[in-house]
Copies of this chain bind each other. A is one copy, B any other.
Amino acid sequence: MGEGMRSESLLYLTDEQLRQGIEAMYFAYRGFTADPDRILESMAYGRAHHRAIHFINRAPGTTVTNLLAILGVTKQSLNRVLRTLIEDGLVESRVGTSDRRERNLYLTEAGVTLEHRLSDSQRERMRKAFRDAGPDAVSGFRRVLEAMMDGELHRQYLSLRDTGQ
Report A's interface with B, CB cutoff 8 A: 8-9, 11-13, 15-32, 34, 51, 72, 119, 122-123, 125-150, 153-154, 156-157, 160-161, 164-165
Contact = CB atoms under 8 A, between A and B. Distances in A.
Given A16-B165, A123-B19, A141 B150 contact: no
Given A18-B123, A25-B29, A13 B148 contact: no
B141 A31 contact: no
Nearest to A124: B18
Contact of A129 (B8, B134, B136, B147): B147
A38 B133 CA distance: 33
Given A13-B130, A17-B138, A126-B148, A25 B31 contact: no
A76 B35 CA distance: 24
19 contacts: A8-B135, A12-B138, A13-B130, A21-B130, A27-B149, A28-B144, A28-B145, A28-B148, A30-B149, A30-B153, A31-B150, A34-B150, A128-B147, A129-B144, A129-B145, A131-B147, A133-B140, A137-B144, A140-B141
A111 B31 CA distance: 29
A47 to B, nearest CB: 10
B123 A147 contact: no
A130 B20 CA distance: 12
Contacts of A146: 24, 28, 133
